[in-house]
Chain A
Amino acid sequence: MWGKGLITGMKVTWGHWFGKKETVYYPEEKLPMTERFRGGHLAFDEEKCIGCKLCAIGCPNAALDLTVSVDENKKRHMESYIHQIGRCMYCDLCIEACPTKAITWDKNYEFASYFKEDMTYDALVEARNRRGNNE
């Protein structure tokens, strides 16, 4: 009978009228990010960093711009850790390259911005601010 398939399809649609909802009520309700989630800003740990620049070398798009200074004891210090989000493709290669695990993703996915300048930030300054707030 012509139209039988149409009615069957409509039945499926009606069945979902009473079913469980698949969506969440964002932004009131947010989905948790997974443990391996790649995204957001880089959470930098100043104490762990040895200034080897392997992260910047490993980056395929040169999204990391680091300035390292060497003190009188020949110890390397990070002066600035600029991350250009516009260039980053979140491939995780910098984090995997780090021998001391000094960088991780902060798992924040709400960092869209109106201005291009907001696409560049200093992970070192952010880390210091975060520590200042905690103390």
Chain B
Amino acid sequence: MAQTEKYVLNMGPQHPSTHGVLQVQVELDGENIVGAKPVMGYLHRGIEKLMESRTYVQCVPFTDRLDYVSAMNNNLGFCMAVEKLAGIEVPERAEFIRVICAELNRIASHHVFIGSLTNDLGSATGMIYAFRDREKILDLFNIICGARMTAHYIRIGGVAADAQDEFLRDTQKFIDYVPEMLDEYNKLFSGNEIFQARMKKTSIITKEMALKFGMSGPNIRASGVDYDIRKIDKYGAYGKFDFDVPLGKRGDNWDRYMIRMKEIAESAKIIQQALDNMPEGPYMAKVPKVLRPPKGDAYHRVENTRGELGFYIVSDGSTKPYRVHIRRPSFVNLQALDTMCKGMLLADAVTAFATIDPLMGEVDC
């Protein structure tokens, strides 16, 4: 006599759609998902612990390796936390360059999102288009800091080197290209009926659920919660720029995708304003060669590409941090995977996973 039973399928850690080394134990009833349990730790390097044995300046390159797709935002978060701790004032020009770099990196990171999402949905062409445009931003980073991904450009007290005219000119060129780029993406993906069918009304996260999970970034904004650190807790030069926070309605995959598309346009708007009002002056504050922040602790949060990135640093008055804790948005966002996958088909697990957009370097830390 025929009988049915649930079974567990291991997706990852070598699965091409898990964006790194995440393992998802998917419990299946036929093709329907009953539960999805993320298993992590494959990329754990102990960065928090490593930082305890490095000086504050030496810690900065390690933050590049957290969310390696948006390294500038990580640098920014850590440096601002140390500046808060040591009471360092950053020159205005440095603040503007920081904003330009962070927003460029946000666009580059969303390119990876669009590229990997379309690739996971079966359109390998989509990835090529997104990565072609991402390359333009990486080339800009190569000009300004000499590295493409692990930037280590934003430093404690300012930035590593002044922005050259070449960089500013090429950035302007890229910003002028953004509307054309988005138009092409809309023609390629957003209008595609198959793409819409896969994305719309799938893996819904309601407003209440998103808040309960403590999600942040584009994922919570897709559910309609107006939560953007750049607006509610203005840091750096963000208070000087005029931009909107795009919000979704349903909280499905489609909203999470569209939010990112709109955010690219908003980021371009911020960069344009920063380029137009770029002040002259020094790019680095006077920071002592041996940095010894006073005893105490500081927490600073920034709006990373994937959500709220926070650095909590405890200083014991020496040259090295006593303890560093990192609040990684991808790690928190990943909790929702189980809820998103329940009741969906196995093929949709890949889509749900791609739209949460976790980065394993950050999840495992």
Measured CB to CB, the residues of A under 8 A from B are: 2-6, 8-9, 11-13, 22, 33-39, 58-60, 89-93, 96, 105
Contacts and interface: CB of A to CB of B under 8 A. Distances in A.
B145 A13 contact: no
B193 A3 contact: yes
Nearest to A96: B160
A75 B270 CA distance: 54
Nearest to B53: A60
B192 interface: yes
Contact of A36 (B58, B135, B161, B184): B161
A5 to B, nearest CB: 3
A9 B57 contact: no
Interface string B55-99: 001111110010000000000000000000000000000000000
A105 B142 CA distance: 14
Interface string B138-160: 00001111110010100000001
B146 A34 contact: yes
A26 to B, nearest CB: 14
Contacts of A8: 187, 191
B191 A9 contact: yes
B194 A93 contact: no
Contacts of A38: 145-147
Contacts of B57: 58, 93
Contacts of A39: 146-147
A93 B161 contact: no
Interface of B: 54, 57-62, 65, 125, 132, 135, 142-147, 150, 152, 160-161, 184, 187-189, 191-196
Contacts of A34: 142-143, 146
Main secondary structure of the interface of A (DSSP, over half): loop
B146 A5 contact: no
A60 B192 contact: no
A12 B187 CA distance: 7
B146 A4 contact: no
A36 B144 contact: yes
B61 A12 contact: no
B152 to A, nearest CB: 5
Main secondary structure of the interface of B (DSSP, over half): helix
A9 B192 contact: yes
Which 9 A-B pairs rank lowest in CB-CB distance, beginning with the nearest?
A5-B191, A36-B146, A91-B61, A60-B58, A38-B146, A5-B192, A37-B146, A9-B188, A91-B152
A60 B161 contact: no
Contacts of B58: 58-60, 93
B54 A60 contact: yes
A89 B61 contact: yes
A67 B184 CA distance: 57
Contacts of A11: 187
A89 B150 contact: yes
19 contacts: A4-B191, A4-B193, A5-B191, A6-B192, A8-B191, A9-B187, A11-B187, A13-B188, A34-B143, A37-B142, A38-B146, A60-B59, A60-B61, A60-B62, A91-B60, A92-B146, A92-B160, A93-B61, A96-B160
Given A37-B142, A89-B61, A91-B152, A12 B184 contact: yes
Given A22-B132, A91-B152, A9 B189 contact: yes
Contact of B143 (A4, A12, A36): A36
A104 to B, nearest CB: 11
Nearest to A91: B61
Nearest to B123: A9
Contacts of A36: 142-146, 161
Contact of A6 (B145, B146, B150, B193): B193
A111 to B, nearest CB: 16
Nearest to B135: A22
A58 B147 CA distance: 19
A35 B162 CA distance: 13
A96 B152 CA distance: 13
Contacts of A35: 146
B310 to A, nearest CB: 22
Contacts of B191: 4-5, 8-9
B192 A90 contact: no
Contacts of A93: 57-58, 61
A11 to B, nearest CB: 8
A34 B166 CA distance: 11
A89 B62 CA distance: 9
B247 to A, nearest CB: 24
A93 B59 CA distance: 11
